[in-house]
Amino acid sequence: MHQEEILQIEQYLKKRKLSSQLYDEVLDHFIIQISESMDCKGISFQKAFYQVQLAWAYELEMVNADVFSFRKITRLEKNTLQLRFRNIFISSLLISILAEWMSVSLPYTQFYVQIALLLTLAGFLIFNFAFRKMKFSDYIQLSFHPLLIRNFVLVFLCIGIRFFILPHLGISGRLLGNIPMVFGLIVQIQLLYLNLKKINVLI
pLDDT along the chain (203 residues), means of 10: 92 91 93 94 94 96 89 92 92 87 77 90 90 81 85 74 62 60 90 88 84
User: What per-residue confidence (pLDDT) applies to 168?
Assistant: 59
User: What per-residue confidence (pLDDT) applies to 62?
Assistant: 93
User: What per-residue confidence (pLDDT) applies to 61?
Assistant: 95
User: What per-residue confidence (pLDDT) applies to 153?
Assistant: 79
Instruction: For residue 50, give every residue at least 6 positions away whose Cβ sits within 8 Å of its Cβ, in sequence order, or none.
Output: none
Domain spans of the chain, in order of start? 3-60, 72-196
Q: Note whether 33 and 55 are within 8 A (CB).
A: yes
User: What per-residue confidence (pLDDT) applies to 87?
Assistant: 94
pTM check: above 0.85: no
User: What per-residue confidence (pLDDT) applies to 162?
Assistant: 64
Q: How many CB atoms lie within 10 A of CB 139?
A: 14
